[in-house]
């Protein structure tokens, strides 16, 4: 079975979005992208405002989880309908978040990718971006990886997005894994 889903997990400002764009350029066929940022942006403004605290912490409640579960099911349905998908996510719950995806993607061939970045570097990117609450990158840098198992890990601290994407594409093109 060929890889059907690539799930990238990393903290805010770790470089996932850049890697995703490069992956779409280097993979031999077209892949759709579903990003957690897109899910959040599609929610009502009142929910968006309640997610992030002034120190950059993120708190999700039952309404968010309900919508997130529906979003995950939609992603899985898209894959089952024949489209390969790249997921750009932030596992705030670490291994528990991965387990949620595992249940949703059961029977599909998934490549789990950890996108790491040193907290200080991610925090610098966060400031440069100007569209994130300061402190988010620092808080998420290690938190999102706790208890998560990966097939491939890349570190954007000293590696460019294109190099990371080529590493991941190599695993997609040359590697096989058991369906989850």
Q: Is 88 a catalytic residue?
A: no
The residue ranking higher by pLDDT, 180 or 105, is 105
What pLDDT was estimated at residue 180? 41
CA dist., res. 97 & res. 99, Å (int): 5
User: What is the mean predicted confidence (pLDDT) over 124-129?
Assistant: 79
Tokens coding 9: 């997990």
Q: Is 59 helix (H, G, I), strand (E, B) or coil?
A: coil
The answer, yes or no, to whether residue 106 has pLDDT greater than 70, is: yes
The residue ranking higher by pLDDT, 143 or 125, is 143
**What band does 179 get if pLDDT is binned at 50, 70 and 90?**
very low
User: What is the mean predicted confidence (pLDDT) over 156-161?
Assistant: 95
**What band does 141 get if pLDDT is binned at 50, 70 and 90?**
confident
What pLDDT was estimated at residue 136? 73
CA 44 to chain centre: 22
What pLDDT was estimated at residue 1? 54
CA dist., res. 80 & res. 179, Å (int): 13
**What band does 75 get if pLDDT is binned at 50, 70 and 90?**
very high
The residue ranking higher by pLDDT, 46 or 72, is 72
Q: How many CA atoms within 13 Å lie on the side-chain side of 72?
A: 18
Average pLDDT, the chain: 89
What pLDDT was estimated at residue 130? 62
**In the chain, at which residue ranges do the beta strands (DSSP E only) sit?**
5-9, 32-35, 85-89, 110-116, 152-155
The residue ranking higher by pLDDT, 41 or 125, is 41
Residue tagged active-site, from 37, 69, 89, 109: 37
- Helix (H) / strand (E) containing 151: none
The residue ranking higher by pLDDT, 41 or 57, is 41
pTM: 0.90
């Amino acid at each position: 079975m060929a890889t059907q889903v690539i799930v990238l997990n990393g903290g805010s400002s770790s470089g996932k979005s850049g890697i995703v764009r490069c992956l779409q350029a280097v993979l031999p066929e077209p892949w759709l992208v579903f990003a957690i940022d897109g899910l959040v942006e599609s929610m009502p403004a009142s929910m968006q405002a309640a997610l992030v605290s002034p120190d950059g912490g993120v708190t999700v409640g039952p309404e968010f989880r309900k919508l997130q579960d529906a979003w995950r099911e939609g992603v899985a349905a898209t894959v089952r309908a024949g489209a390969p998908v790249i997921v750009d996510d932030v596992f705030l719950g670490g291994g528990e978040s991965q387990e949620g995806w595992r249940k949703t993607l059961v029977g599909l061939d998934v490549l789990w990718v950890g996108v790491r970045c040193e907290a200080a570097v991610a925090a610098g990117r966060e400031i440069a971006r100007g569209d994130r609450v300061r402190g988010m990158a620092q808080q998420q840098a290690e938190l999102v990886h706790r208890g998560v198992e990966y097939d491939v890990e890349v570190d954007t601290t000293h590696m460019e997005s294109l190099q990371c994407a080529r590493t991941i594409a190599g695993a997609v093109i040359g590697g096989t894994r058991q369906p989850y």
